[in-house]
Amino acid sequence: MICDKCGEKEANVHLTKIVNGEKNEIYLCENCASQSNEFSFGTDHNFTFQNLLAGILSPAINNESSQNNLLNNKVVCNKCNSSYQEFSQKGLFGCAECYDIFENKLESLMKRIHGNTEHSGKVPQRRGGRLKLKRKINDLRDQMQEAIAMENFEKAAILRDQIHEIDSEMEGEVNGEH
């Protein structure tokens, strides 16, 4: 018997499917059988996204030294009372402050989920002013390095002054807040 799917290899898996009284027989080779979803009967009903995430999260606990581990797992968010263990079971943080409380665990977690650890998208219009200035400075610094590399020192000096200007503007803001 030749495989029904690839039509090449010898079929050694015989599948009989009865759906709503209709009988359907398929002969497959080992290769095609292993690729077929006929055999995934959804046996593992616990395989949800949250569990998957919990799986990613728990090694982060195990990898650290046990003493550290104990300390860290006792830490509880003072706003929402979530522990790291609760987070790793649910896959959900309880509030924005959890991000500060569990900060030392997040670097490796985010790396695993996103391959990145630094936001580079939209910044809130009203409150994101500081970050916007920071990004502007980084941008100007890049341009300045480029200008220096091209030996365009005049341009580099202009860019340096612009950076200073924004720098002092930011400091003024911080001082103003206190």
- What is the contact surface with another protein in residues (CB under 8 A)? 35, 37, 40, 42, 53, 79-82, 90-96, 99, 106, 109-110, 113-128, 130-131, 134
Cβ proximity to another protein: between 122 and 178 the closer is 122
Query: Is 87:98 a contact under the CB 8 Å cutoff?
Result: yes
- In order of 33, 46, 67, 74, 144, the CA distances from 61 in angstroms are 38, 22, 11, 12, 43
Cβ proximity to another protein: between 42 and 176 the closer is 42
Smallest distance, Å, CB 1 to another protein?
21
Smallest distance, Å, CB 167 to another protein?
16
Query: Is 78:97 a contact under the CB 8 Å cutoff?
Result: yes
Query: Is 11:3 a contact under the CB 8 Å cutoff?
Result: yes
Cβ proximity to another protein: between 128 and 172 the closer is 128
Residue 164, CA atoms < 13 Å, CB-side half-sphere: 6
B/e letters for 128-152, b = 16+ CB within 10 Å, e = fewer, are: eeeeeeeeebeebeebbeebeeeee
Smallest distance, Å, CB 117 to another protein?
7
Cβ proximity to another protein: between 14 and 130 the closer is 130
Cβ proximity to another protein: between 19 and 149 the closer is 19
Residue with tokens 């580099």: 156
Smallest distance, Å, CB 149 to another protein?
26
Cβ proximity to another protein: between 20 and 66 the closer is 20
Phi, psi of 44 (to 5 degrees): -90, 90
Angle between helices 49-62 and 66-74 (to 10 degrees): 130
Smallest distance, Å, CB 119 to another protein?
3
Smallest distance, Å, CB 169 to another protein?
17
